[in-house]
Amino acid sequence: KIYRGKKMLINVDELVPQHIEKIYQTILKGAYINENSSKNGNSEMYNAIVSKENELRAYFRPLGYTLLRREGYYYFARDDASDGESALEQIVNYIEIANFLKTLDSNFSVGYRFMLTSMEHQLNRNLELEELASKMKDIRAGDNREFIQKIVDKLRKDGFVEETNTKSSEFIVLNSYEYIETFLGEVEIYE
């Protein structure tokens, strides 16, 4: 089980064996590995990657993945650019969501905690938010509750938020949300 990378000999048995399969499964899903996540062993995987970052980067390179590190999270980029158009569409959708969330609360960022009900109440009372919501083409809902639920479900599915309290539907924004904020900071939104 020795892998010969371009410059490095890697003993796969030493590559955090208790985490390697889960890290690979995370790659396949296109998810993020967050330091501040308490779900699914995410923070343990994060620490495992930190301990063997260069070796893991070399290990995944021939599989077509590049391990990328940002402040408090890791993610994997595919080496081929075959799906560039859909990736761009997804980024545009996330910019719309991030703009909506920043309008909802200017403090919405990494580490922010929120409850679905409070987001819904704000949307019910704010005409500017309702207008933004009506312009979002990818999220269609029958009412404001469903609209908020769909946004949070998308963020959760893609690894940007996680539920911290199921009884009160409380969530935390994970470190990987910085990925979206980076794009939001680079664009100007015109009405």
CB atoms within 10 A of CB 86: 9
CB 114 within 8 A of CB 171: yes
Give the pLDDT of the chain (191 residues) as one tens digit per residue: 444 444 455 555 566 667 778 888 887 777 888 999 988 778 888 988 898 888 888 888 888 888 889 999 998 887 665 555 566 677 788 888 999 999 999 999 999 999 999 999 999 999 999 999 988 878 888 899 999 999 999 999 888 999 999 999 999 999 999 988 887 777 655 45
Q: How much is the pLDDT for 187?
A: 63
Instruction: Enter the tokens of residue 38.
Output: 């308490």
Say what the pLDDT of residue 2 is.
Answer: 42
Q: How many residues does the chain have?
A: 191
pTM: 0.73
- Rounded Cα distance, 181 and 155, in Å: 13
Q: What is the pLDDT of residue 1?
A: 41
Is the separation of the CB atoms in 76 and 66 below 8 Å?
A: yes
Token pair recorded at residue 160: 């940007």
Can you tell me whether residue 101 is helix, strand or coil?
A: helix
For the chain, the maximum distance between any two Cα atoms, rounded to a whole number of angstroms, is: 61
Q: Mark out the alpha helices in the chain (DSSP H runs).
A: 17-29, 42-51, 53-60, 84-104, 116-125, 127-135, 144-157, 177-186
The Cα 108–Cα 103 span in angstroms is: 9
Task: Give the per-residue pLDDT at 109.
Answer: 95
User: Are residues 101 and 115 in contact, defined by beta-carbon separation less than 8 angstroms?
Assistant: no
